[in-house]
Structure 1
Amino acid sequence: MHLRDATDDDRDLLLDVLLEAYNWTGEPRFTREWLTTDPHTVRYLGGWKRPDDVGIVAVDDDGVVLGAIWARPLPATEPGYGWVADDVPELTMAVLPGARGRGVGSALLAGILDRARALGVTAVSLSVEDGNTAARSLYVRHGFVVVGRNGGSDTMLREL
């Protein structure tokens, strides 16, 4: 597995990853069309790649995408589900089904934390839905703590 920086050309790939994150249960709860038209969801990738966006894509030796993660600061006027503060970027990530259980999520998370730290970011946040125990366990292992609640999800924070 290799990690590479997400580029301007990765918006469609990241949209596929976002769809996977939203459909983490394995059921098709959301569609790609919904992701691109829902005003709240558009915040996560609209205008990708902005100067303050940072992302990583995990690929195998053949260049097949295994998953991706990105961080984007969102303002209080247009918060994400895991919003904490304007200066705290929110993470979005997913590992594609065939790549789960192989350390891809840990590698992506460690990589984005390193990149965010190098950019001077002091904390990152995310949202994890109730029932998504695999993701929640991963986040806790990487030092995230619950700092709030939004509907059926916990908002988690990792200070850097």
Structure 2
Amino acid sequence: MNAFRIRPAVPGDARVLADMLVEAANWNPVRTRPRVTVLDDPSVRHYIAGWQRPGDFGCVAEDAAGVPVGATWARLFSPSDPGYGFVAPGVPELTLGVYPHWRAQGVGRALLRELARMAAARGHARLSLSVQRSNFAQRLYVSEGYVTVASGEGSDTMVRTVR
């Protein structure tokens, strides 16, 4: 396993989070979209627009040289502008992205665990997310305690209690 460390995400990490948002959107190597196409989609862009807003929190995984290899972050959405995994006001929705050559090495799991710790420390009781059913990451989410609370066309909204 390659060595990595996890640190809190800061306002200057907007570019890193954008990179990881593109990785999350392009989880299926057969159906990738160009960066500009992903980030120009308003329903995707609002996961990073204006990072770091009040209430936003996250963490970044870096390799031994300090180069980002993955990130997860959470933000609150409103019923009038929900994310794909919106369940209720006050429940942060997370996004997770890891570069392909770092997947299946514990990076995603470590990031999810740190984000859950951060959410609980901020007083949140739950975290939510949306994942396509065919995405291999769904098994990771289930193994970390996320349960499906709603299903749509090919995707599930999942929630985990964090405290």
TM (normalized to structure 1)? 0.95
Q: Using the alignment, how far apart are the partners of 1:31 and 1:52 within structure 2? A: 29
Matched length: 159
Q: Using the alignment, how far apart are the partners of 2:41 and 2:103 within structure 1? A: 28
- Cα RMSD of the aligned pairs, angstroms, is 1.1
In structure 2, the gaps of 5 or more residues are none
Q: Which residue of 1 is the match for residue 153 of structure 2?
A: 151
Please say if residues 3 and 58 of structure 1, whose CA atoms lie closer than 8 Å, have aligned partners that are also in contact: yes
TM (normalized to structure 2)? 0.93
Q: Using the alignment, how far apart are the partners of 1:104 and 1:47 within structure 2? A: 26
Q: Which residue of 2 is the match for residue 125 of structure 1?
A: 128
Q: Using the alignment, how far apart are the partners of 2:153 and 2:88 within structure 1? A: 18
Please say if residues 25 and 38 of structure 2, whose CA atoms lie closer than 8 Å, have aligned partners that are also in contact: no
Please say if residues 57 and 65 of structure 1, whose CA atoms lie closer than 8 Å, have aligned partners that are also in contact: yes
**CA shift at 1:33, angstroms?**
1.6
Please say if residues 88 and 124 of structure 1, whose CA atoms lie closer than 8 Å, have aligned partners that are also in contact: yes
Alignment of 1:1-160 (within 5 A): 1-132=4-135, 134-160=136-162
In structure 1, the gaps of 5 or more residues are none
The sequence identity of aligned pairs, in percent, is 45
**Structure 1 pair 32–73 and aligned structure 2 pair: CA distance change class (3 A):** same
Q: Which amino acid counterpart does residue 85 of structure 1 have in structure 2? A: A
